Amino acid sequence: MSEEQALPTIGQDMRTFYEKWLEKEGLDVVRGMFVEDMKTMPLQPWGRKGGKGVFIHLEGAGEENSAYVCEIPPGGKLAPQRHMYEESIFILEGRGATTVWNEGGEKQTFEWQPNSLFAIPLNAWHQHFNTRGDQPARYVAVTLIIPMLNLFYSEDFVFNNPFEFKNRYGGAENYFSGEGKLFQQYDSYMKVWETNFVPDVLNRDLIGWKERGGGGRSMMFQLAESCMPAHVSTFDVGAYKKGHRHGPGAHVIIVSGEGYSLLWKDGEPVQRYNWKRGSMVVPPDMWFHQHFNLGKEPATYIALHGKYSPKYRTSKGASYWGIDRDVKAGGHQIEYADEDPAIWETFDKELAKRGVENQMIPKVGRK
């Protein structure tokens, strides 16, 4: 072949397979760093689901995972689904039920309410129902659809695959009972509750995690044998947690309280986001971030994570480990004594505006 002969060109469309699929779904995509209120954000009809929805692709997810919000109409239901990707679900508003089954197997149904948390077992059939006839139900889900579609570039494989992961869901009668067992996460002080359904994260017993500061109490959840864990954390009135950093994909959803979060990358300006119940923030990969409670009640958030597991070693160098250890000792946490003094000063002024007592004086050592 002579040098003058032109070769055919491939790869002119630089979109990923997922991006092409996303366009076909026909929904709006919310981008940026922050969502102020997922309970009221506008949604569009979603043909594949049978309800309404919106995709959420915040910068901090880093293509590790992605989120969407879906609404079920009053007294309605969504279409039955199964898919070859992990999915964790947190209920924002409403009451309903979800039925799960393997092809030809018995169906199991469990009921949920605001602040319920559960995961769909990988590739199991499932269907969501709104049991209230007077109001819609709305949930947020975090999934691993991006890497799966981009890896196989086949919708048919991802959505119409008959394989059953019976090691994850075999139809056990009490699978979604909410019962579980407690164990210790490797290389961290965090405790892990292994379960498949959390009826209400606000009524879940939490364990003190003094290393993270702010009077914090936390619990990690290992859900449905998934490689997508979640953790819930609450911290005191007039308090804030220590700054820390970790890998991408932690979708932080505010469950109760009001306050703000600071996010920053070394050498770049600090970004602030004010939050309330229903807000979401996703810190980018290895950006420091810090959460502050300005309200008159404890603040609680739940974080739906990317593809690492506190139970199974899905990667050797998981950067979530070390978030409660001093950066000076090789960890990823900034101790109070080492933080920028402006952090304390701003927090103290914000509390004074609201008439809330600053509980951090003995913890931080400033007046």
Q: How far apart are CA 180 and CA 200, in angstroms?
A: 14
Q: Which residues contact 340 (CB under 8 A, 6 or more apart)?
A: none
Contact 175, 108 (CB under 8 A): yes
Contact 239, 215 (CB under 8 A): yes
Residue with tokens 């879906």: 70
pLDDT value of position 143: 97
Domain map (residue ranges) of the chain: 17-159, 181-315+322-364
Cα torsion 201, 169, 186, 203 to 10°: value is 10
pLDDT value of position 348: 95
> What are the structure tokens assigned to 55, written together?
């995709």
The DSSP call for residue 326 is B
Which CATH class, in words, describes the domain spanning 181-315+322-364?
mainly beta
Question: What is the CATH code of the structural domain delimited by 17-159?
Answer: 2.60.120.10
Q: Which amino acid is at 142?
A: V
pLDDT value of position 113: 98
Same fold, 17-159 and 181-315+322-364: yes
pLDDT (tens place) for every residue of the chain, 367 residues total? 566 677 777 777 788 999 999 999 999 999 999 999 999 999 999 999 999 999 999 999 998 899 999 999 999 999 999 999 999 999 999 999 999 999 999 999 999 999 999 999 999 999 999 999 999 999 999 999 999 999 999 999 999 999 999 999 988 888 998 788 888 766 566 788 999 999 999 998 888 888 888 888 999 999 999 989 899 999 999 999 999 999 899 999 999 999 999 999 988 999 999 999 999 999 999 999 999 999 999 999 999 998 777 787 776 555 456 788 899 999 899 999 999 999 999 999 999 999 999 998 765 655 5
Cα–Cα nearest to 34, from 362, 289, 316, 324? 289
